[in-house]
Structures are given as structure tokens and as C-alpha cells.
């Protein structure tokens, strides 16, 4: 197989299931946040096969007179899982296994899976429990999709803004030439707008930012109003100096998407911590610190369990126990990143807290 990805495995459709194959036994998954990493660890079993792009040292060359430095090169591997564990000091799931697809068959290899990783997981049979974990992961990952279209007469860059990065999905060339006659230019512009609109429609965004210099973006919005009114209702205009990826980056620097990201993870976590602090100040519907949270769980009062990522890494077994308990009473949980202020506040409160569904004392 070498470094290539097998045919039929590379198409992404948009924890998220990207693709299912082999009668549902093989599922292609993107890890989108820390919660997904926890769910993935619960789904994995020894004997599963995990496929992913990774890095390995180049194989030794027998025809070389002098020993050569072996560089790490990208390669697509499938490994039969032997062991796995979330690394104590990093937000990564380490998966150890035996190579069954790719170079160096039969050798050991460790995959490091983190936020943003894409893997394909294959099982002989998916249990009901594993499918339930997967369903919960998908539901917890549902976020508002904000699409940025940076366009001018030369073409349109279509990019999808995600909570931890941006996917540059496509560049669509307009095909319009300055030497075209007026009627031909109009025909080409309509064809161009139609192609862009169909691509947007296939992605299914919640919000669309149409940006760029000049009048092309305004003409496109008028086109949407007539031909694709549902897309027009989701669309907003923004003036930037460039099209293409440069224009997309300018939109982001200007902060334009922020008003459309009320459901983004950082905002959600900040709101939860604000609600926690309000409850603490009023001495109601909140608990914090391990002892108080465990007492709240004893009464079945926890609606949302909040755990900082640093507390989870240091107290993994205890956290898994807390998560099992809150899930058993119909509550939910959130692993909060300490990369922003809300997570740091939670960490300072002991790393674990809860929003309660009722007062019990």
C-alpha cells in the first residue's frame, strides 16, 4: 500500500462520523474536542483495527555503504489494537498495535490521536453500548457551522469555520475573462454563482459570511435571494480587501464570525462557568470541589458535571467514576479546556463542579 490511502476511504462528509463502509463495521471519525477523545477511549477495544495517517522512520536501505539517517515520513497504516490510554500529560489518546496494513507488516506502532485527528475504526461487530457512546459523541459535537465565502470576479474561496480551526474546502474559478462580450460574461457569472451556491448547499451551513472587495459579493447575494432564498436568509455581507484564502483570513481577523458563534464551545463553557459562579454566589443549584460534587451525585441532583482538563488528566479513574454516575442519572458532562479563562476558573475551584437540577440542602 505504501503511503497512499486506499480508494474509497479518503472522502470526508461531515465526535463526527465522516463515512461508513463494510456494512457499517468500518466508521471514519473526526475527533473534534476533548469530550470526543473520552468517548473514543470508551469505544475502543483490543482487537479493533484503526487506520490513520501517521509518521514512521524510513525503512533501512541494504544497498547503502554508509548508514543513513532515517527520517520520519508520513504513511497510512492500519493497526490491530493491543492497548490504548489517554496520555497523562497531554490531550492525546495513544493507541498501540500491530501493523496489518502498510509498510513494516507485523511490527508494533503507536498512533497518537488528538483533537483534529481523523481515524477509521473497524470492528467485527459494534455493540449497542458502543453505538450509544458514538451517538452521544455525535450529538455533543453538533455545532453551528459558519461558512466564509471570499469572492470576487476571479473566483470564490469556500472555507468552513470550526471551533478549533478552519477547513479550506474549495476554490471555485469563475471562468470570467475581461475579453468576453457582455452577454457571455453574464452567462459565465450566472454559471459561477450557480456552482458556488450548489457547493454551499451541499455543506449545509447555519450561517454564511459572503465577503470580498467590489460588487461581486452583492451580486451573488441578489442571485441567492432569487434562486436560493433559504441560503440568502442565512447570509451576511462583509467588506474585505481580498478574495481567496487571504480574504478568509481577513474576515477572521476582523472578528466578523464571532457574532455567529454563540454555540461555539468556548462560549458554551464560559456560560456554564458563569452560571456556576452565579449559583455559588446565591448558594443554590451549584456545587464545586470533589466532596460536594460527590454528595450532589448521591442525591441524583447533577444536571451538568464540569471537569477541567488538567483535573481529568491527573485524576482519570475518579473522573470516569463521576462521569458514569452522572450519566446513570440522566445528566451530562463537559471536559472544560484550561486554555481559556472559564477553564482556569474551574481549575481554581478544584477542577470539578456541577450545575444542579434541584436543591437538596
Model pLDDT for residues 100-121, shown as the tens digit of each residue:
999 889 999 999 998 778 899 9
Res 87 pLDDT > 50? yes
Q: Are residues 115 and 201 in the same domain?
A: no
153 in the same domain as 132? no
Give the whole-number percent of the chain exceeding pLDDT 70.
81
The structural domain count of the chain equals 3
- Report d(CA 223, CA 151) in Å as an integer: 14
The answer on 192 and 111 residing in a single domain is no
Secondary structure of the chain: what % helix, strand, coil (to 5)? 35, 30, 35
* Residue 61 confidence (pLDDT): 55
Evaluate if residue 96 carries a pLDDT over 80.
Answer: yes
Same structural domain, 177 and 223: yes
| Region 231-245 average pLDDT | 92
Query: Residue 279 and residue 69: Cα distance in Å, rounded?
Result: 59
Q: Is 241 a member of any domain?
A: yes
Q: What is the pLDDT of residues 169-185, one digit of tens each?
A: 889 999 877 666 667 77
pLDDT computed for residue 17 by the predictor:
56
- Average pLDDT on 61-68 reads 55
| pLDDT bucket at 52, cuts 50 / 70 / 90 | very high
Asked if the model's pLDDT at residue 253 lies above 70, the reply is: yes
Instruction: Give the pLDDT confidence score for residue 261 in this predicted structure.
Output: 59
Mean of the pLDDT values across residues 217-226?
96
Average pLDDT for the chain? 83
Using the 3D structure, point to which of 140, 172, 189 is the last residue of a domain: 140
pLDDT score at 7: 38
Residues 245 and 278 in one domain: no
d(CA 69, CA 165): 34
Same domain flag for 230 and 315: no
Q: Are residues 244 and 351 in the same domain?
A: no
CATH code, domain with 93:
2.30.30.870
Note the pLDDT of residue 19: 55
Examine the domain organization and report whether 155 and 189 are in the same domain: yes
pLDDT at 126: 87
Q: Average pLDDT, stretch 48-58?
A: 89
**C-alpha dist (Å) from residue 167 to 125, 148, 203, 245, 324:** 32, 10, 12, 11, 34
Read off the CATH number of the domain in which 318 is found.
Answer: 3.30.1330.30
Is it the case that residue 152 has pLDDT exceeding 60? yes
- pLDDT of 336: 87
Q: What is the DSSP string of 290-302?
A: HHHHHHHHHTT-E
2: pLDDT strictly greater than 60? no
Q: What is the pLDDT of residues 315-356, one digit of tens each?
A: 878 988 999 899 899 898 888 888 778 889 999 999 999 999
For position 233, what pLDDT does the model report?
A: 92
pLDDT band at 21 (very low <50, low <70, confident <90, very high): low
313: pLDDT strictly greater than 90: no
Cβ(340)–Cβ(265) below 8 Å: no
pLDDT grade for 164, boundaries at 50, 70 and 90 = very low
Mean pLDDT over 217-224 rounds to 96
Q: Same domain for 218 and 323?
A: no
pLDDT more than 90, % of the chain = 45
Is the predicted pLDDT of residue 32 greater than 90, yes or no? Answer: no
Whether the per-residue pLDDT at 137 is higher than 90: the answer is no
Instruction: Give the per-residue pLDDT at 142.
Output: 57
Report how far residue 146's alpha carbon sits from residue 259's, in angstroms, rounded to the nearest whole number.
10
What domain range includes position 41? 16-140
Q: Is 5 a residue whose pLDDT tops 70?
A: no
Once rounded to an integer, what is the mean pLDDT over residues 243-267? 77
The position carrying cell 470541589 is 289
Q: Residue 62: pLDDT above 90?
A: no
Amino acid at each position: 500500500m505504501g503511503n497512499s490511502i486506499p480508494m474509497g476511504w479518503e472522502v470526508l462528509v461531515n465526535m463526527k462520523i465522516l463515512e461508513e463502509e463494510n456494512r457499517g463495521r468500518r466508521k471514519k471519525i473526526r475527533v473534534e474536542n476533548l469530550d470526543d477523545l473520552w468517548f473514543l477511549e470508551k469505544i475502543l477495544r483490543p482487537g479493533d483495527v484503526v487506520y490513520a495517517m501517521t509518521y514512521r522512520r524510513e525503512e533501512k536501505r541494504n544497498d547503502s555503504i554508509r548508514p543513513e539517517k532515517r527520517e520520519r515520513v508520513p504513511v497510512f497504516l492500519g493497526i490491530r489494537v493491543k492497548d490504548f490510554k489517554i496520555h497523562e500529560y497531554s490531550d492525546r489518546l495513544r493507541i498501540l498495535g500491530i501493523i496489518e496494513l502498510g509498510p513494516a507488516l507485523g511490527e508494533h506502532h503507536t498512533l497518537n490521536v488528538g483533537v483534529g485527528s481523523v481515524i477509521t475504526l473497524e470492528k467485527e461487530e459494534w455493540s449497542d453500548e458502543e453505538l450509544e457512546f458514538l451517538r452521544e459523541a455525535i450529538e455533543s459535537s453538533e455545532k453551528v457551522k459558519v461558512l466564509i465565502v471570499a469572492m470576487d470576479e476571479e473566483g470564490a474561496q469556500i472555507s468552513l469555520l470550526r471551533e478549533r480551526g478552519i477547513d479550506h474546502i474549495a476554490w471555485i474559478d469563475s471562468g470570467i475573462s475581461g475579453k468576453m462580450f457582455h452577454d457571455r460574461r453574464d452567462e459565465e457569472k450566472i454559471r459561477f454563482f450557480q456552482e458556488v451556491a450548489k457547493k454551499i448547499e451541499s455543506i449545509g451551513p447555519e450561517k454564511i459570511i459572503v465577503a470580498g472587495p467590489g460588487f461581486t459579493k452583492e451580486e451573488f447575494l441578489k442571485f441567492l435571494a432569487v434562486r436560493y432564498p433559504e441560503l440568502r436568509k442565512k447570509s451576511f455581507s462583509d467588506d474585505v480587501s481580498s478574495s481567496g484564502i487571504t480574504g478568509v483570513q481577513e474576515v477572521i481577523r476582523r472578528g466578523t464570525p464571532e457574532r455567529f458563534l454563540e454555540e461555539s464551545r468556548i462560549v458554551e463553557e464560559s456560560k456554564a462557568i458563569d452560571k456556576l459562579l452565579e449559583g455559588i454566589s446565591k448558594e443554590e443549584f451549584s456545587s464545586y470541589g470533589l466532596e460536594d460534587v460527590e454528595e450532589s451525585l448521591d442525591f441524583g441532583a447533577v444536571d451538568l458535571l464540569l471537569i477541567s482538563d488538567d483535573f481529568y488528566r491527573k485524576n482519570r479513574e475518579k473522573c470516569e467514576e463521576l462521569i458514569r454516575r452522572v450519566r446513570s442519572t440522566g445528566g451530562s458532562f463537559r471536559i472544560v479546556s484550561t486554555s481559556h479563562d472559564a477553564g482556569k476558573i474551574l481549575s481554581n475551584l478544584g477542577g470539578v463542579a456541577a450545575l444542579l437540577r434541584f436543591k437538596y440542602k
